[in-house]
Structure 1
Amino acid sequence: MTLKLAVMGAGLIGREHANLIQANSRVELAAIADVSEVGKAFAAEHGVRCFSDIVDMLDAIKPDGAIIALPNALHADAALACISRGIPSLVEKPVADTLEAAMRLTEAVQRFGVPVLVGHQRRHSPDIAKARQLVRDGALGRLVAVNALWMTDKPNDYFNAAWRSKAGGGPLLINLIHDIDCLRFICGDIESVMAFSSNAVRAFEVEDTASVSVRFASGALGTLLMSDTAVSPYNWDTAAGQALYFPHQPENAYVFAGTKASLSLPLMDLWKHETDEGHWQHPLLRQHVTLDGSRAYENQLNHFADVVEGKAEPIVSAGDGMMTLATILAIAKAGQERRVVTIEEMLQ
């Protein structure tokens, strides 16, 4: 059976979701909800109806599933509208714009049993999945240290959308949240954070650069360095070749270090000694870890189809998305207040 999927929001990512649906034989595009003339024209190009109200669309079309690519502040209410109608949804990250809204959504999922998949698409990328497997299988030994980079140079016209220079629109919540989600997925929950942030280059209300230290619940420590004003290939989006909008610039963005080996991503090099008795005065062997060549966004759509059909639980649940949101908001708070912030504190 071909699944009918509706898309809420015909912005950049919403249009990409619609295109991915059209290219997948398991699903079909049933309708689009958008208030803009661009959205109406895009729906007409794809031969589907365009609704200006999401509730009207859900009630008229009765889709098997819905993809929510609306502004952040509308994510939770749109997902709740789906839940109340028994419709599974894929909600673009962040799961909500506030922790309160994320908690409300998580409680509704638990109460009604209607699944919500959060669109942290990197979890569906083969390099991220393989890193999780290697860490969890003990290939690195005990994980002790993690390093992540996200540095790139956004053009000036990117900020023509005024919300991107205001609170909640900076690279922490837009970009680094993906890296935090990857680290949580691979290494386990983050317990506490410390951060410094700066807006020295653009002088916007939001940060343009940040350095972050994290402590995982396992005891491992991590650092992240982020800037959207730096010319660099050191970000997963371009380094992995999985992003929809950027050129592929092969490099590494993550390093995971353990007592037996270290792993760099996305080039997938595993470094270890020849024997367990090796130490820093002995040479290291480099082993390349092969991947299956699959694509993150295509994998995410197929996983969502499995979720809609009841064949799988969401790999990123609403509760999981809430924990990633709580962690990134803790980082923002730590940067503002110059102190250690725990994730438990944020959830209270």
Structure 2
Amino acid sequence: MSLLRIAVAGAGAIGRVHIEQIRASLECQLAAIVDPSPAAAELAALLEVPLFTTLEALFAERRPDGVILATPNALHVPQALACLEARVPALVEKPLAHALPEGERLLAASLACDTPLLVGHHRAHSPILAQARAVIADGLLGNLVAVMGTALFYKPDEYFAAGPWRTQVGGGPILLNLIHEIGNLRSLCGEIVAVQAMASHATRGFEVEDTVAITLRFASGALGNFLLSDAAASSRSWEQTSQENATYSHYDDEDCYVITGTFGQLSVPTMRLKRFGAAEDRSWWKPFICEQLPQDRDDPLARQLAHFCQVIRGQAQPLVSVLDGLQNLRVVEAIAQACRSHELVNVPLE
């Protein structure tokens, strides 16, 4: 089977990660870099691959098998539309769009075209999450009742000094970090249909929030609460518990999600399962059967690239579709709205 030719648009931090993943893959090769910056020109020269300043210039000269869009958020939709027009499959980095109307526009275009788009919520490809989904689907927890989640971590001062826009509205953890968690929770517990939230900026005093408390209602009737903060000295975040990103320190005694049903509970990512022995013998006086499920760890970004290759070859449908990416964005926008209005906000479903 011949190697697929993948182009990467955007040679910033995440773009370079995708480039390294492609170079390490046995299924594809780097076909080109699309980026008008001098730094991209230097990288293309170093890697000895063609450089184009625009997707239109790339498509005019050569047609790659696929494109990864790792450009700024505002470019995601117009560039994804250009890929659809050229009939080139694309992996669009999250968030799908910088605003809901743009995301709706891309959804409509994708539904009218048979060229596949995959949204880059790479955690969806985590084998830990796949295992947790299987536990829930197999009914080991019973009917879901409640979920508790956290994304608590501390961003250093230099993070804000390097990007002062991060201290202003739109630069806080709701729009920058929460969308990862929403994708995880939707994949585990189903659709989120309503939210309430309260935000604070008391710790840093920036214009933007640093801490958020969120209440979630799922379509199943289950309820959830979620604590989000980028000013908390805590290890209870996905990056620090999953061991999937070597950039972060890891703490294997911590979980960031606890999912509870009528028969038992599952802690993720440690995969500690507590459940009753029999459905007819459930009581808070009865001891649980406690199990440590085996953990399968692998790089979700590498698995995402392998999946993208399967999508290009027509061997799989996108695990994270445009609709999935848009729905994650809808939930995040609803949470931001709830923080402003102090009211319950319903999340539209399609």
TM over 0.5: yes
**CA offset at residue 133 of structure 1?**
1.6
Does 2:287 align with 1:283? Answer: yes
Give CA deviations for 1:8-55 in whole Å, capped at 9, x if unaligned.
Answer: 111111100000000001010111112322222222222212222222
State how far apart, in whole Å, the 1-side matches of 2:167 and 2:42 are.
29
* Shift in alpha-carbon separation, 1:161–1:244, aligned structure 2, 3 A: farther
Unpaired segments ≥5 residues, structure 1: none
Please tell me whether the aligned partners of residues 211 and 226 of structure 1 are also in contact (alpha carbons under 8 angstroms).
Answer: yes
The one of 313, 319, 324 equivalent to 1:320 is 324
Deviates more, 1:143-152 or 1:277-286: 277-286
Root mean square deviation of aligned Cα: 1.5
Match for residue 264 of structure 1?
267
Moved over 4 A (4+): none
Give CA deviations for 1:221-258 in whole Å, capped at 9, x if unaligned.
Answer: 00100100111110001210112532323221100000
Match for residue 17 of structure 2?
16
Match for residue 338 of structure 1?
342
Does 2:85 align with 1:81? Answer: no
Helix, strand or coil for the counterpart of 2:8? strand
* Shift in alpha-carbon separation, 1:35–1:206, aligned structure 2, 3 A: farther
State how far apart, in whole Å, the 1-side matches of 2:194 and 2:347 are.
6
Give CA deviations for 1:165-215 in whole Å, capped at 9, x if unaligned.
Answer: 333222112111111111111111101000001122233332111000000
State how far apart, in whole Å, the 1-side matches of 2:24 and 2:237 are.
28
Match for residue 213 of structure 1?
215
**CA offset at residue 279 of structure 1?**
1.6
* Shift in alpha-carbon separation, 1:170–1:82, aligned structure 2, 3 A: same
Match for residue 188 of structure 2?
186
Percent identical among aligned pairs is 42
Helix, strand or coil for the counterpart of 2:112? helix
Deviates more, 1:165-174 or 1:211-220: 165-174
State how far apart, in whole Å, the 1-side matches of 2:179 and 2:97 are.
12
State how far apart, in whole Å, the 2-side matches of 1:156 and 1:11 are.
21
Deviates more, 1:254-263 or 1:131-140: 131-140
Does 2:41 align with 1:40? Answer: yes
Q: Which amino acid aligns with 1:313?
A: Q
**TM-score (norm. length: structure 2):** 0.95
Please tell me whether the aligned partners of residues 30 and 61 of structure 1 are also in contact (alpha carbons under 8 angstroms).
Answer: no
* Shift in alpha-carbon separation, 1:308–1:163, aligned structure 2, 3 A: farther
Please tell me whether the aligned partners of residues 189 and 216 of structure 1 are also in contact (alpha carbons under 8 angstroms).
Answer: yes
State how far apart, in whole Å, the 2-side matches of 1:35 and 1:207 are.
33
Match for residue 311 of structure 1?
315
Q: How many residues align?
A: 346
Q: Which amino acid aligns with 2:269?
A: P
Give CA deviations for 1:292-319 in whole Å, capped at 9, x if unaligned.
Answer: 3322111111001101111111011001
Give CA deviations for 1:46-96 in whole Å, capped at 9, x if unaligned.
Answer: 221222222212332311101111111111111111010011111111100
**TM-score (norm. length: structure 1):** 0.96
Match for residue 225 of structure 1?
227
State how far apart, in whole Å, the 1-side matches of 2:67 and 2:251 are.
33
Q: Which amino acid aligns with 1:326?
A: R
The one of 140, 164, 185 equivalent to 2:166 is 164
Map 1:68-147 to 2 at 5 A.
68-147=69-148
State how far apart, in whole Å, the 2-side matches of 1:186 and 1:210 are.
21
**CA offset at residue 285 of structure 1?**
2.0
Match for residue 61 of structure 1?
62
Helix, strand or coil for the counterpart of 1:112? coil
* Shift in alpha-carbon separation, 1:142–1:293, aligned structure 2, 3 A: same
Give CA deviations for 1:106-154 in whole Å, capped at 9, x if unaligned.
Answer: 1111101111111111110011111112212211000000011001111
State how far apart, in whole Å, the 1-side matches of 2:37 and 2:158 are.
20
Helix, strand or coil for the counterpart of 2:177? helix
State how far apart, in whole Å, the 2-side matches of 1:173 and 1:313 are.
27
Does 2:198 align with 1:196? Answer: yes
Unpaired segments ≥5 residues, structure 2: none
